[in-house]
Structure 1
Amino acid sequence: MVNNNKYTILLPTYNEKDNLPIIIWLIVKYMDEGEYNYEVIVIDDGSPDGTLEVAKDLQKIYGEDKIVLRPREKKLGLGTAYIHGIKHATGNFIIIMDADLSHHPKFIPQLIELQIFKRYDIVSGTRYRGSGGVYGWDFKRKLISRGANFLSQLLLRPNASDLTGSFRLYKKDVLEKLIASCVSKGYVFQMEMLVRARQFNYTIGEIPITFVDRVYGESKLGGNEIIQFAKNLLYLFATT
């Protein structure tokens, strides 16, 4: 089957200068091997560590058609980063993933092939099915993640096994509609996207992925995020 789709990979970054060269190299490797038509949009939120300068160097290496830079002046949140990226996306499919190497680009071809085969609106990477899993987390972090996912499943019934993950492929128009309907910010944003998808009767496929805790830099999940998560979960339960 000839694949005429174009894939836009959105990479929001904040202080990822050490990770960015590796993640870009891996994305290019797997996308080129699969002979996919693609672009990577780097959305840097004013990183003080020089992430944008590294991105400019990578653009010189791989070309401006492959690496597109759409920086912002300061940290404005994940949801708005996606909105910003979509505005500049030329692909009819959007892939969202983390730039910190927790999501391995080797899974991108699996997301793409499942979407082509089943024509799903969304294909999501899951840590909680089949060969999926998490590496590098301590027991407490695993417990929080599992607990959050279990509670979310119980209250929201989203037809997806991994609500808080953020490695997904969307049809562009589907992603635009979902983002427009979402009210959450931060950690809960990914969860709300799949809950809204269920409301709109979008089809969701899943592939097992392994999530590896960030290699360089600091994790962004703290106690405050957990409290916000609980509040937002209850809000979604009451409104969906």
Structure 2
Amino acid sequence: MKLSILIPVFNEENTIEEIVSRVVAVQYPCLYEVILVDDCSHDGTFEKLERIQRQEHGHVISVFRNSANMGKGATIRRGLKHLTGDIVIVQDADNEYDPDEIPKLIEPILTGQTEAVYGSRFKEAWYPEGMGFLSWIANRTLTKLTNILYGASLTDMETCYKAVRVSLVKKMELRCNRFDFEPDITAQLLKKKVDIVELPVTYIGRSADDGKKIKARDFLQAVWVLLRDRFSRIQS
């Protein structure tokens, strides 16, 4: 088995070197690769990515760049086309999630227990560290809506940490462009009756001043995607 760690990046020159170093320092229970897709950053991020690939970890790291800013969802969809692994997990580049927790998240997939694992920020924490109040409300509301629409019992639909079998993802018709990747992939997994296992993860949020990019309109887009996917046909 091989793990693909997909990192979408946009204007993260202050954190990208640290997060890549943390990702490659983890002791994984299988072979792995790191796919970095830069969403046309304009702050020097891509130059740092090229240097990282060239000088440090080129044997496991692949770097791609969008010709224009396309959004997180579109950037992830592009990255999915370049995977060579059997399991994929998305790692944000902002240091909010701890890569040391990736091995435990992929373990249930490696052992055949399930095809999808979510790292939940709310499994053991009622109010995760650093999460703004409005973000907390949005996360709770979107997860509750997901559970109502799809008959699920998730605690954190919006988590970045989603580990899924690549063969399953490649059968999906993902249409997301921005931060609607989370509801889009979740809706399709649930409509396929995939048993999503949730495991607790730590989380240290950051503010808009620190570079947080999600906006109020992304909440409305997530609601629309959940409704759209609930009442549309999902290819098998």
TM over 0.5: same fold?
A: yes
Secondary structure of 2:180's aligned partner: helix
Following TM superposition, by how much is the alpha carbon of 1:132 offset from its aligned partner in structure 2, in angstroms? Answer: 7.8
Q: Is the 8 A contact 2:37 2:64 kept in 1?
A: yes
- Show CA shifts across 1:96-144 (max 9, x none): 1211111110110111222223431111111222358622123232122
Compare the two structures and name the one with the higher helix fraction: 1
> Quick one: which of 193, 197, 206 aligns to 1:205?
197
- Show CA shifts across 1:151-202 (max 9, x none): 2222232353321112111111111122x2x334422321121221122222
CA distance in 2, matches of 1:23, 1:132: 26
Deviates more, 1:12-21 or 1:107-116: 107-116
Code of the aligned partner of 1:11:
I
Deviates more, 1:120-129 or 1:153-162: 153-162
Tell me how many residue pairs correspond in the alignment.
Answer: 232
RMSD: 2.2
Deviates more, 1:226-235 or 1:70-79: 226-235
Correspondence 1:83 to 2:83: no
Structure 2 stretches of 5 or more lacking a match?
A: none
Following TM superposition, by how much is the alpha carbon of 1:221 offset from its aligned partner in structure 2, in angstroms? Answer: 1.9
Change (3 A) 1:116 1:219: same
Give the structure 2 partner of residue 221 of structure 1. 214
CA distance in 1, matches of 2:210, 2:133: 20
CA distance in 2, matches of 1:156, 1:102: 28
Code of the aligned partner of 2:226:
L
What is the TM-score of this pair, normalised by structure 2?
0.88
Correspondence 1:187 to 2:183: no
Secondary structure of 1:134's aligned partner: coil
Give the structure 2 partner of residue 177 of structure 1. 171
Identity in percent: 25
Q: List aligned pairs for 1:39-54, cutoff 5 A.
A: 39-54=33-48
CA distance in 1, matches of 2:101, 2:160: 13
CA distance in 2, matches of 1:132, 1:22: 28
What is the TM-score of this pair, normalised by structure 1?
0.86
Q: Is the 8 A contact 2:143 2:154 kept in 1?
A: no
